[in-house]
Structure 1
Amino acid sequence: MVDSLSVSAAPNGQLKATATVHSTRTVKLQALTVAVRSANGGNYDYPGATAATLGTQATKYTSGSRAFPAGTYTYFVAYKVHDSWRSLAPVKSFTSGTSTTPTPTATPTPTSPATPTPTASTPAGTPTQTASPTPTPTATSSTTPSAPSTAAAPVGIAGTWRQVFSDEFNGTGLDGSKWNSNWFGCSGCVTKPPNSAEASAYSPSQVSVSDGSLHLNLIQQPTTVGGKTYPNVSGLVTSNGKAQFTYGAFESRIYTPSSGTQMANWPSFWLDGQNWPTDGELDVLEGLGGSACYHFHSTAGGPGGCASGTYSGGWHTFGAEWKQGSVTYYYDGKQVGQITSGITSAPMYLILNNAINPDHSGTNVVPADMKVDYVRVWQH
């Protein structure tokens, strides 16, 4: 429980946060911090997250200091336990740029994320459509890439990072400034899949945001698009035309559908260029034949592999670091593979989709909900 929470001035025009918290029983926290959100949902968490043991006696936490671009922000206490980040009421606000006067707000308590989960070498997508290039978003000055669901950097990926994109899916609907809810189609249209091997069309009706997660729902519903009837319809989001990147660290925390101890269907988190395969395709995660796999497709081929271990039946973090000449893949913060051939350098946009492939019938499950806690992108 939060007994007190406030923001105060620090040297050099920066701010710091102070919180007093307690628990009804003794609990060891992996981390305790004060999280901050800008008006458009950007992450500006205070530095200095620390491990703590809470009990019935009040514990005081003081964050590190940081500067904020001019604007209004909400802030709240967040803590990590059992590898899951959670948030506490109250949610307060302050304004930076003129004077800093913290005031309580009626903003509801942010939804707590749930907890992390994840052989053939089939491409996650073989798009043939071409769209007009879009500018790569720039990072907001002084943005700290941290949030209640993760640390101040990509999980397991070393280096100094600045966050340039994020969506925590804490609202009640998809953020249309960041995502499209179908594959290269008009707003609200049902579209064909990126890959002709898929057995589902994509409809915005199968995309929703609730309980702090993006939901991509696959259901059995014969759907005809472009003269072809697909036995299923599912959910997909893409940042094409709204955000694209050249190099960086890309991470998403995902709860994939499961078939026993295996990953069901063909859930995917990937990036794609404007001209496939010339511009490249970076598959951070694709469920293939029950396994969690990664690939990089270009005119040079499609090398990749599948991670050992079980990445289904719970929340897991899937990430990749893309830099000149290589992509290194990280699942739950551990390196699971690296590709150093055929790596392209053209900008790519983000895609998440809950696909299904009839060739993997042994692990297919319908209906199935692919849940996404967050998507984040960092660059140096």
Structure 2
Amino acid sequence: MTPEPSAAADPAAASEAMPVGDLPGWTQVFAEDFTEGDVGLGGFPGPVYGARWSENYFDGTPDTAAQQQPKGQRTSGYYPTKVLSVHDGFMDMFLHSENGVAMGAAPSPKLFGANQRPYNSLVYGRYSVRFKADVLPGFKLAWLLWPDSKNWPADGEIDFPEGDLSKVMYAAVHGLENGIHDNEVLRPNVPYGDWHTATTEWRADGIEFFLDGKSLGVSRRFTPTNPMHYILQTESCGPVCPSPETSGHVLVDWVAIWAKS
């Protein structure tokens, strides 16, 4: 089924500034523009951002590609202490290789409920991020919603933006159809390299994706109904690994999240 377009624009992309406040039908539960202070490489989230951010993996945790490689021969992984920092109002992901291992990271925002205790997941939500990624062959984004149950693909997966940083970005929704894993992909055919605002709007009636304020369409084929959490998963070797000399940055200007009202 062809995704249905929407005439609605993304209000989160109305300007370059981080959107603050509720939207019609949505209650804001998270807003981060990285202006609370700088954090050097190896110190994120630290005391400055620790109440609002977590890193999902310790240094050396295999990423998606490395999980399929023999132990001792892994060419990629998560290394947050060598990748993540904050400066000049941006989260900086320094993507590079050391000793033949390409390094990424996967930070997650912590959301807050009415009792001000942190939680990470929602059922239905609106996720916006403003970012700029250098063109880096072999490194990739898979910024995603992942099921709390870890029951994949039965409980779904939502990715946007996704794709090798030397190619074009896309959105993808995963699920089961007749007991077999399948996915639906929406392709705006927009390359990385410039500033973009990407929004995922996960609703009961489908998942709508926006890029720079323009709807890419609504995916209704697989719509998760169980809690999911948001991860800025940044990795490599999917399937081609970056050259050892390839290095650069992904800058995140802000992240804003809303729960369904």
Give the TM bin, normalised by the shorter chain: 0.7 to 0.9
Paired amino acid for 2:78: Y
Paired amino acid for 1:162: T
Aligned-partner SS, 2:232: strand
Question: 1:268 is matched with which residue?
Answer: 142
The reply on whether 1:238 has 2:119 as its aligned counterpart is no
User: Residues 362, 176 of structure 1: CA spacing in aligned structure 2 closer, same or farther, 3 A cutoff?
Assistant: closer
Question: 2:92 is matched with which residue?
Answer: 215
Q: What is the CA deviation profile of residues 106-152 of structure 1, one whole-angstrom value per residue up to 9, with x for unaligned ones?
A: xxxxxxxxxxxxxxxxxxxxxxxxxxxxxxxxxxxxxxxxxx42375
Is the 1:255–1:316 Cα contact (8 Å) retained in structure 2?
A: yes
User: Residues 168, 299 of structure 1: CA spacing in aligned structure 2 closer, same or farther, 3 A cutoff?
Assistant: same
Aligned-partner SS, 1:307: strand
Question: 1:327 is matched with which residue?
Answer: 207
The reply on whether 1:306 has 2:187 as its aligned counterpart is yes
**Identity, % of aligned positions:** 23
User: Residues 302, 163 of structure 1: CA spacing in aligned structure 2 closer, same or farther, 3 A cutoff?
Assistant: same
Give, in whole Å, the separation in 2 of the partners of 1:211 and 1:163. 25
Q: What is the CA deviation profile of residues 148-193 of structure 1, one whole-angstrom value per residue up to 9, with x for unaligned ones?
A: 4237567xxxx3432012222223232222322243x4xxx43111
Aligned-partner SS, 2:239: helix
Aligned-partner SS, 1:303: strand
User: Residues 277, 361 of structure 1: CA spacing in aligned structure 2 closer, same or farther, 3 A cutoff?
Assistant: same
Paired amino acid for 2:50: G
User: How many pairs were matched up?
Assistant: 218
Paired amino acid for 2:127: F
Q: What is the CA deviation profile of residues 295-352 of structure 1, one whole-angstrom value per residue up to 9, with x for unaligned ones?
A: 11123321112212x3422210000110114101000010013210121111111111
Question: 1:285 is matched with which residue?
Answer: 161
TM-score (norm 2): 0.72
More divergent stretch after superposition (243-252 vs 326-335): 243-252
The reply on whether 1:164 has 2:164 as its aligned counterpart is no
Aligned-partner SS, 1:279: coil
Is the 1:356–1:364 Cα contact (8 Å) retained in structure 2?
A: no
Q: Which runs of 5+ in 1 are unaligned?
A: 1-80, 85-147, 223-229
Paired amino acid for 2:249: D
The reply on whether 1:150 has 2:19 as its aligned counterpart is yes
Q: What is the CA deviation profile of residues 209-259 of structure 1, one whole-angstrom value per residue up to 9, with x for unaligned ones?
A: 11111111211113xxxxxxx621222212488411110211100111215
CA shift for structure 1 position 287: 1.9
Give, in whole Å, the separation in 2 of the partners of 1:283 and 1:210. 27
Give, in whole Å, the separation in 2 of the partners of 1:197 and 1:283. 20
Aligned-partner SS, 1:359: coil
User: Residues 237, 151 of structure 1: CA spacing in aligned structure 2 closer, same or farther, 3 A cutoff?
Assistant: closer
Equivalence map 1:23-62=2 (5 Å):
none
Equivalence map 1:4-19=2 (5 Å):
none
Q: What is the CA deviation profile of residues 19-71 of structure 1, one whole-angstrom value per residue up to 9, with x for unaligned ones?
A: xxxxxxxxxxxxxxxxxxxxxxxxxxxxxxxxxxxxxxxxxxxxxxxxxxxxx
| Structure with greater Cα Rg | 1
More divergent stretch after superposition (205-214 vs 193-202): 193-202
The reply on whether 1:254 has 2:128 as its aligned counterpart is no
Is the 2:138–2:238 Cα contact (8 Å) retained in structure 1?
A: no
